[in-house]
Amino acid sequence: MAENGDDSRRKVTELADQLTSARNALDGTERDMAKVRLAHGQHVQAAEQARQPVKALDVKCPGCGALVSPQRTGAVVNGYRAGTFDCAACDVTFEARWSGGTDPVVTVREI
C-alpha cells in the first residue's frame, strides 16, 4: 500500500511540475505577444506618418538667388523629394531634390 501512495504522490508532483512549466511558457508567450503588438503599433504609426504629404520647399534660384516655390513635386524616393521650379524673376527652369528634416540637403540642376 505504501508503494501505491508514493507512486500517486510522484505522479501528482510530476503533473504539478508540468503544469508549472506550461504556465511559465504561456506567460512567456503572452509577454512576447505584447512586445509584438507594441512593435506592430509603432510600425503602423510610422507608416501613417510616412503617408502624410510632405511640404514643398522654397529653393534659391541658381540664376538670381530669389526664393522659388516648386511648380510640381514628385513622390519621396530614397528619402528625397524632387521638384521642378520656374523662376519668374530671371526666367530659369531648374530641378531640385531635398531631404526631409529640419535642415534639408538641397541639390539643384538647371534644365
Sketch the domain layout of the chain as residue ranges.
1-52, 59-110
Residue 47's pLDDT is what? Answer: 79
Residue 15's pLDDT is what? Answer: 94
85 close to 109: Cβ distance less than 8 angstroms:
no
98 close to 69: Cβ distance less than 8 angstroms:
no
Residue 98's pLDDT is what? Answer: 81
Residue 32's pLDDT is what? Answer: 92
Find the largest Cα–Cα distance for the chain.
108
Phi and psi at 40, nearest 5°, equal -65, -45
Q: Which residues of the chain have pLDDT under 50?
A: none
**DSSP E strand stretches across the chain:** 59-60, 67-68, 70-73, 80-87, 92-99, 106-110
Residue 7's pLDDT is what? Answer: 87
Which pTM value belongs to this model?
0.45
Mean pLDDT of the residues in the chain = 83
Residue 109's pLDDT is what? Answer: 79
